[in-house]
Amino acid sequence: MGKVERLAKKLKNYLATDENILYVADTSPFKDAVYPPQLIVTTQRLIFRIPKAIGQQLEDYPYESIVNLQIDEGLMFSNIIIKAPGVERLVEGLSKKEAQEVMKYAREAQKSQ
């Protein structure tokens, strides 16, 4: 069972019946080696998942509410900034490749809406 399938199982009560996970980006284990956060791209929204010892914290950003999505590339890692009305979420410590994949999948999902 792959990463997407395992995560879909964990989020089955959170995802809509017609919603599918397109991509999962893990943040760097240097920031949090035990429970590194993840940025999940679905067909309907971006989900920022923070695993915890017991449970998880989930923040979701539906595509229709996102006004700007940008990458801030550093020397080793990239950050993604999600802007929605009244909210700005910084997702730190993604590899450059993963940040680019998040942007690609999110743009494709936005187009199909």
pLDDT grade for 15, boundaries at 50, 70 and 90: very high
Q: Quote the DSSP letter at residue 63.
A: G
Which residue in this structure is represented by tokens 């989020």?
Answer: 11
36-66 pLDDT tens trace: 899 999 999 999 998 888 888 999 999 999 9
* Helix/strand/coil for 49: strand
60-93 pLDDT tens trace: 999 999 999 999 998 889 999 999 999 999 999 9
Whole-number CA gyration radius for the chain: 13
b (16+ CB within 10 A) / e for 37-69: bbbbbbbbbbbbbeeeeeeeeeeebebeebeeb
Residue 38's alpha-carbon distances to 19, 24, 109, in angstroms, are 18, 7, 18
